[in-house]
Amino acid sequence: MQEEAMLTHAEKLRLLRLNSFLSGAQLDLLSSVAEHAREQDYPKNSFIFSRKDQADDFYILVEGQVGHPEVQAAEEQFSVMPQASTAGQLFGFAAIVQGLPERVISAHCEKPTKVLAIDGQWFQNLCKAHAHGGSELLYTLSRAYAGHEYKVAGSAGWISIRNAGKVYDPFGKAVVAVEDCSIEIRPGEFVAIVGPSGCGKSTLLNGIAGFDSLTSGVIYLDGEVVNRPGSRPKPGPDRMVVFQNNALFPWATIMENLICGPVAQNRMSKVEALDKAHALLAKVGLSGIENLYPSAVSGGMGRRVEIIRALLNDPRVILLDEPFRGVDALTKSVTHNALLELYDLSRKTVMFITHDLEEAIYLADRVLVMASRPGHIKQTIHINLPRPRSNKILTSPEFLRLKEEAIEAVHEEALKAFVSGEREFS
């Protein structure tokens, strides 16, 4: 996809001949963007000027008006921007900061938006080689390469947790479950959260789902506040939750379970819902169970049905709280692949809580390791394993390396949790 939008070598040479713009101020600006990205721990290859020895990609929003809090943040942060700059350019910068811009940009576009991808190292060299007008250079690039624009359609599901905190105080004994925890999950990203028992994983998930209120910080979904202290959190069908316990209605058949939500909410006709449900069941090898009751299907099947039910509601995000806990290893493996298939099909934003590190690495784009209570993100592990994924990668050297990294991070926290637990009980 990005390759399609990249410039060929000949085109780069032509551009080099065409342009002679760029100012030092603009370079500073871009460096600030990179610096911010580094501080925020965005994926390494999603912005330029982060590593001078590596050719990363640089993206520009060519056209399209976007409403995105990150644009506002960029405006505030980069008040040095020359007057000539446009919302589009600012968004381009914000996109670099955010990583995976084709998803980020698509989050808030009301209409299809054009994005240009440029080889970062080449652009950096070009910037170094010329002395004036960075913004003009961006314009020129955009105009010159209209043929290489890549269009993205609207989608959603950006979760932004900023300095979240939760203190439970049931009997006057304050339990600081989560403290100053910040996480950005991009639209369509699959993030797994791991950490020792009691570190606040479910507390965070409940905060996003709107089941429980925060005591500090704020959670946004696509720029809208869904949770902040002092106001009642807002649960909604835009955030579907799949728990570890079977949540299918026992009195309804599998098919009735699947279609009741979208049909009752008038988001689909019954025929349409039946069609979609049949197709998704077939996709994960479950054709034929439509008329059974939940008690007649296995735990693994039930989980797959629940995930399909969540998808049929067309949420912006899917939140899974240890959905496969207690499922045997063989069934788990089948269920993982079903989840991956459904994810590849829908590209919904997923937040997945688990204790199983292999599972986290196999499924996710990023694994966030939480520190022992009070919970916050201790470490981010970027999973650069290609998709679609299959069981083969479980024995690949990269997978084993990632597993080792994750084990080390979690083990240290588990040990801390154990020691502090001992203290609490002594």
Ligand X SMILES: Nc1ncnc2c1ncn2[C@@H]1O[C@H](COP(=O)(O)OP(=O)(O)OP(=O)(O)O)[C@@H](O)[C@H]1O
Task: Characterize the bridge pairing of strands 216-221 and 366-370.
Answer: unpaired
Please identify, using beta-carbon distances, which residue of 168 and 293 lies nearer to ligand X: 168
SS3 86: coil
Residue whose C-alpha is closest to residue 194's, from 402, 313, 360? 360
Please identify, using beta-carbon distances, which residue of 369 and 402 lies nearer to ligand X: 369
Please identify, using beta-carbon distances, which residue of 196 and 261 lies nearer to ligand X: 196
Show the tokens assigned to 28: 């500073």
Site of interaction with ligand X (CB under 6 A): 168, 170, 175, 177, 195, 197-203, 373
Closest approach, Cβ 178 to ligand X, in A, equals 7
Closest approach, Cβ 190 to ligand X, in A, equals 19
276 Cβ neighbours under 8 A, 6+ residues apart: 268, 312
Please identify, using beta-carbon distances, which residue of 198 and 299 lies nearer to ligand X: 198
Q: CB of 321 within 8 A of CB of 242?
A: yes
Largest CA distance in the chain: 74
Closest approach, Cβ 355 to ligand X, in A, equals 6
Please identify, using beta-carbon distances, which residue of 249 and 418 lies nearer to ligand X: 418
Backbone angles phi, psi at 390, to 5 degrees: -135, 170
Please identify, using beta-carbon distances, which residue of 247 and 385 lies nearer to ligand X: 247
Closest approach, Cβ 425 to ligand X, in A, equals 13
Closest approach, Cβ 200 to ligand X, in A, equals 4
- Walk across the sheet containing 216-221 and list its strands: 175-185, 159-168, 216-221, 224-227
Closest approach, Cβ 203 to ligand X, in A, equals 3
Q: What is the dihedral of CA 341, 345, 351, 355, to 10 degrees?
A: 0
Closest approach, Cβ 418 to ligand X, in A, equals 13
Please identify, using beta-carbon distances, which residue of 200 and 302 lies nearer to ligand X: 200
CA distance 343 to 337: 10
Residue whose C-alpha is closest to residue 142's, from 152, 134, 130, 131? 134
Closest approach, Cβ 192 to ligand X, in A, equals 13
Closest approach, Cβ 357 to ligand X, in A, equals 13
Please identify, using beta-carbon distances, which residue of 67 and 235 lies nearer to ligand X: 235
Give how far Cα 400 sits from Cα of 336, 355, 362, 395, 397, Å: 18, 17, 11, 7, 5
CA distance 351 to 370: 14
CA distance 243 to 234: 19
Please identify, using beta-carbon distances, which residue of 175 and 394 lies nearer to ligand X: 175
Please identify, using beta-carbon distances, which residue of 186 and 366 lies nearer to ligand X: 366
Burial class (CB in 10 A: 0-12, 13-18, 19+), 328: exposed
Does a cis peptide bond (omega within 30 degrees of 0) precede residue 315?
A: no
Closest approach, Cβ 228 to ligand X, in A, equals 18
Spell 85-116 as b/e; 16+ CB within 10 A means b.
bebbbbbbbbbbbbbbbbbbbbbbbeeebbbb
